[in-house]
Chain A
Amino acid sequence: WVCGNWEGLTVLGRMEIVHVYTRLRGEFGRQCLFSDRPAELLVDVPPDPRLAQDFIQKNPRDQALQACRDMSEHQVNTERFESDSCGINHVEGGWPKDINPQEMEQTIRYRKKVEKDESYVNSLLTLGSVMEHCIRQNNAVDIYQEYFEDEDEVEESPEPPSAKTINVFRDPNEVKRTVSCLSWHPDGGKLAAAYSCLQFQRSSRDMSLDSYIWDIENPNRPELTLKPASPLVCLEYNPKDSHTLVGGAYNGQIAYWDTRRGSQPVETSSVEQSHRDPVYKIIWLQSKTGTDVFSASTDGQVLWWDVRRLSEPTERLVLDLSREGNLDRALGAVSLEFESTMPTKFLVGTEQGVVVSCNRKAKTPAEKIVCSYDGHHGPVYALQRNPFFPKNFLTVGDWTARIWSEDIRDSAIMWTKYQTSYLMDACWSPVRPSVFFTVKMDGVLDVWDILFKQNDPTLSLKVCDEALYSLRLQDNGRLVACGSQQGGATLLEISSGLSTLQKNDKSLLAAMFERETKREKVLEARQREIRLKERSRSEQSREGEPGREDADHGPDQLIAKAQEDFYVVTEMERRRRDANQQPPTELEDVDVT
């Protein structure tokens, strides 16, 4: 502040304090003269409480202060780093640091050191013994071997073979006739039965001539009646056409039916051209037209027919073994066998117990008869080839059933023992090669399984009280129909054990047949040898002593001797029977030499 005399003005309100300083021009440059003077109040601004209302008081007040450097925060994402996990096969691992694995010497030295270590020796001895045990175990037995892996189906049904009757179809007529033949419908749902009275001159006037076709589900009424001119002895369905049947009648005629056309035969063969005796068997042949049949009868003829033209047979064969076609000397045919796999050959079973094998396609009639098999004492009522082994056939006649091999002429290769009653019919099972069925005059159905038991039937069933005359198996091997003397056809079902093919059946049976055939061949050869020897011996002796041998073996002496032997044997039998009160199971063969 520079003091001086002035006339100043104070302006309040704008708080502007102005101080004017004046000086004369002439006094410029003069030195300043300072003097003291007491303080002078220039301005006094008192507080204005009214201004406090413009403000809000805030008490206490928090204020953070930091005395440090300023920093800033910032986030950044770097580029992705790919990582992968994989193993490394260490070539040489674990070597202690001081040993260089590449150096052979060092490693060998290290190894040797370890080997000398005691703990090594001890542990290795124990390990060695453990290991040896396991090694030996491996060598002894293959512990992972599959046992019984082939035989997981070994449920060899332990159930005993059985059969149960399903239905009985009875002859609806008053006068009962024998069921002489049965034939299954190719699809199996129907059964054709031929009824006739086979006993000589036993048929009465009011005996019905009809034969019936039964539906196996309905035993009360036959499905269809077949009305021939004369009772039918045999009847066959056509395996190719299930609507047609052919039947052979008691008077020797052949009749042809079509089930769609009703009960009357469509055609019947003419009486002059047919057989002169009852037609015992008729079989359909395999031919392109499917209309060929052939029939056999006890008049000694085998006739071939075409069913479209039954007026006369297409071919004729006389069963004369001397091959001369002489009807007087012909053998009466009772059964016939034809196998479709061998269409030119067929077998005929005769009343005389001889089975004749014939060839249809032979050039001359004489050659048609190929050979004969002599084995039965009575008529050969049934004849059938084994469906699996056509070279072997089954024949039934007298009290035995015999199995033959085509190659052996002199005797059967296998036969059953003599049964207590006459066997009337037999057939092989179509599913099991070793099983066959026979029916007997005492009403018993026997099931034989030659792989299981050869002395006795595997199953023996009494079907009815009267004699059973015919038997037929259905193609599935489970259903059996047998016909009785009083006109009842019984339908049975065989247990599965006998009607399912077992794995080894065929091979075992083939082996058996071969064995038996070989045995017979050997026997035949031996017989031939003996005969040759005898002949040569007899020739020699004849030179020495002429006449003596002939006298000893004249026919009368032979007959007398035979008679004597016969009486002796029967006497023995009778005595034995009285002693045991039991029927003998075997008749002894009377050897006539």
Chain B
Amino acid sequence: MAEVEETLKRIQSQNGVQGIIIVNTEGIPIKTTLDNASTVQYAGLIHQLVMKARSTVRDIDPQNDLTFLRVRSKKNEIMIAPDKDYFLIVIQNPSD
């Protein structure tokens, strides 16, 4: 439990990190550093995206699986690390 906190704190302290959200497979945000409205929005939208991405990868090659997803936009980058039961979403502004 404490290690989880520590990990999250470490991530939060990195350069440019704007927010962290942890979502479970049902789309419920477990932990978040952003406000509720944004969290819910991110959770809902990204959940669908990850499902789609994962199914795409597996359709092409059933032995394959999605390990990481990066969505780079003009203003920032959304990084999603999917797992069997949970996703970790980090929004970063790559300052360089």
Cβ of A124 under 8 Å from chain B: yes
Counted as pairs of residues, one from A and one from B, with CB atoms less than 8 Å apart, the total is 98
List, in ascending order, chain A residues with CB within 8 A of B88's CB.
124, 127-128, 131
Bound together, the chains give a CA A277 to CA B11 distance in angstroms of 91
Q: What residues of chain B lie closer than 8 Å to A135, measured between beta carbons?
A: 11, 14, 16-17, 79, 90, 92
**A131 x B15 contact (CB < 8 A):** no
A123 within 8 A of B: yes
Instruction: Tell me the complex Cα distance, A92–B85, Å.
Output: 18
B residues 8-34 near A (Cβ < 8 Å) are 8, 10-11, 14-17, 22, 24, 26-28, 30-31
A131 touches B90 (CB 8 A): yes
A134-B15 Cα distance, complex, nearest whole Å? 12
Segment with Cβ contacts to B, from A136-144, A289-297, A409-417, A573-581: A136-144
Selected interface stretch from A109-117, A540-548, A584-592: A109-117
- Across the two chains, which residue of chain B brings its CB closest to A90? B44
A200 to chain B, nearest CB (A): 75
**A130: Cβ under 8 A from any B Cβ:** yes
Q: Are B26 and A131 in contact (CB under 8 A)?
A: no
Residue A132 interfacial (CB < 8 Å): yes
Chief secondary structure at chain A's binding surface: helix
For B44, the chain A residues whose CB sits under 8 A away are 89-90, 93
Question: Chain B at the A interface: mostly helix, strand, loop or mixed?
Answer: mixed
- How far, in Å, is B94 (CB) from chain A's closest CB? 5
Interface size on B, residues (CB 8 A): 39
Chain A, residue nearest B43 (CB): A93
Interface 0/1 of B25-55, CB less than 8 Å to A: 0111011000000001100100000000000
A91 to B72, CA, bound (A): 25
Report A103-159 residues with CB < 8 Å from chain B CB: 110-111, 114-116, 119-121, 123-132, 134-136, 138-139, 141-142, 144
Residue in A closest to B88 when the chains form the complex, CB atoms: A127
Complex: chain A residue closest to B84, CB-CB: A123
Q: Which B-chain residue is minimally distant from A126 (CB atoms)?
A: B83
Is A124 a contact partner of B1 (Cβ separation < 8 A)?
no
Give the residue of B30, B72, B85 whose beta carbon is less than 8 angstroms from that of A119. Answer: B85
CB contacts (< 8 Å) of B95 on chain A: these are 139
B60 CB to nearest A CB, Å:
22
Kindly state whether residue B63 has any CB partner on chain A within 8 Å: no
Residues of chain B lying within 8 A (CB to CB) of residue A136: 14
Task: Say which size band chain A's interface belongs to.
Answer: 20 to 34
Report yes or no: B68 in contact with A134, Cβ–Cβ below 8 A. Answer: yes
Residues B1 and A115 in contact, CB atoms below 8 Å apart? yes
> In the assembly, what is the distance between CA of A222 and CA of B22, in Å?
90
A94 an interface residue at 8 Å Cβ cutoff? Answer: yes
Residue ID in chain B nearest A101 by CB atoms: B28
Q: Using an 8 Å CB-CB cutoff, how does the interface string of A438-451 with B read, 1 for contact, 0 for none?
A: 00000000000000
Inter-chain contact A125/B14, CB cutoff 8 Å: no
Is the beta-carbon distance between B16 and A138 smaller than 8 angstroms?
yes
A6 CB-CB contact with B under 8 Å:
no
A95, CB-defined interface residue at 8 Å: yes
Q: For window 65-121 of chain A, which residues contact chain B by CB distance below 8 Å?
A: 89-95, 110-111, 114-116, 119-121
Q: How far is the CB of A105 from chain B (nearest CB, A)?
A: 15
Is there an interface contact between A139 and B14, defined as CB atoms closer than 8 Å?
A: yes
Judged by a CB distance under 8 angstroms, whether B58 is at the interface is no
CA distance A540 to B90 in the complex (A): 86
Return chain B residues, CB-CB under 8 Å to A130: 67-68, 81
Chain A minimum-CB-distance residue to B83: A123
Residues of B within 8 A of A128 (CB): 4, 7-8, 10-11, 88
**A123 near B85 (CB under 8 angstroms)?**
yes
Q: Are B83 and A127 in contact (CB under 8 A)?
A: yes
Q: In this complex, what residue of A is CB-closest to B45? A: A89
CA distance A94 to B28 in the complex (A): 6
Report Cα–Cα, A280/B41, bound state, in Å. 87
Pairs A–B under 8 Å by Cβ, sample size 23: A90-B44, A92-B40, A93-B26, A93-B28, A111-B30, A120-B4, A124-B22, A124-B86, A124-B88, A127-B81, A127-B86, A127-B87, A128-B4, A128-B7, A129-B7, A130-B81, A131-B88, A132-B10, A135-B14, A135-B16, A138-B94, A139-B15, A144-B72
Interface residues of B (CB under 8 A from A): 1, 3-4, 7-8, 10-11, 14-17, 22, 24, 26-28, 30-31, 40-41, 44, 67-68, 70, 72, 77, 79, 81, 83-88, 90, 92, 94-96
